[in-house]
Amino acid sequence: MVWGYGLMKVILDAKQIEAALSDLADRIARQISENVDIAVIGIRSRGEILANRLSEKLSNKLGKTVPCGTLDITLYRDDLNNPQSDTQPTVRSTVISFDINEKIIILVDDVLHTGRSTRAAMDALVDFGRPKAIRLAVLVDRGRREFPIQADYIGCKVDIGPGQTVEVNLVDTDDKDQVIIK
């Protein structure tokens, strides 16, 4: 564990992220019977990238293409009309190019914290159809839930104070793969 500049602590490096995702894929593949269709849907923006990686791993393990989609939950947030921060809510495209009806949907997010994003994501998802089940997979569970929501598949658990933040950096958007606590 390296305490870097500005009290930053790396809790997962690139290798560990890769291992955590492989482990998630293993567990998901083991628990899902062969005759059920599954699909992976990532919550923008980091969940989207993780979902892409996860669906690739699952496709390899299961020997069939596991479709992957992207969900933007901005319109479903519970703080839209009561903004909690000064950052501009930016609506982005939701891209789900397959039918979610009767599929098991693996919903992917980078960090599970209050559970509010997950609630929003589930509301958004059911507007696209009636999945057979929704399972939640997250890279990091940082605890301190505000909603009664738990993940089915967790890459790593950390217990940190409310003043700290977990940041997931991914090569696609942030130059390198790492999970840090600030």
Partner 1 sequence: MARKTDKKFRWRLKHLLGLRELDRKEIEFILDTAKAFEQVGRRPIKKTPPLRGRVVANMFFEDSTRTRNSFALAAGRLSADVIEFTKKSSSVSKGETLLDTARNLEAMGVDIVVVRHGAGGAPKFLSRNINACVVNAGDGYNEHPTQALLDVYTIRQMRGSLDGLKIGIVGDIAHSRVARSGIWAMSKLGAEVTLIGPPTLMPAQAHLLPVKISYSLDEVLEQLDVINMLRIQFERLGKNPFPSVREYSHFFGLTVERMKRAKPDIIVMHPGPINRGLELESEVADGPNSVILKQVANGLPVRMAVLFLVNQAAAAESKSK
Residues that bind partner 1 (CB under 8 A): 44-45, 48, 72, 74-76, 80-83, 86-95, 123, 127-129, 173
Shortest spacing between CB 60 and partner 1, in angstroms: 23
Q: β-pairing, 38-43 with 9-12?
A: unpaired
Shortest spacing between CB 159 and partner 1, in angstroms: 29
| CB nearer to partner 1: pick between 35 and 88 | 88
Shortest spacing between CB 141 and partner 1, in angstroms: 24
**3-state secondary structure (DSSP) of residue 40:** strand
Distance CA 108, CA 170 (A): 14
| CB nearer to partner 1: pick between 95 and 157 | 95
| CB nearer to partner 1: pick between 128 and 160 | 128
* Cα 30 → chain centroid: 19
For residue 117, cis peptide bond before it (omega within 30 degrees of 0): no
**HSE-up of residue 62 (Cα within 13 Å, Cβ side):** 25
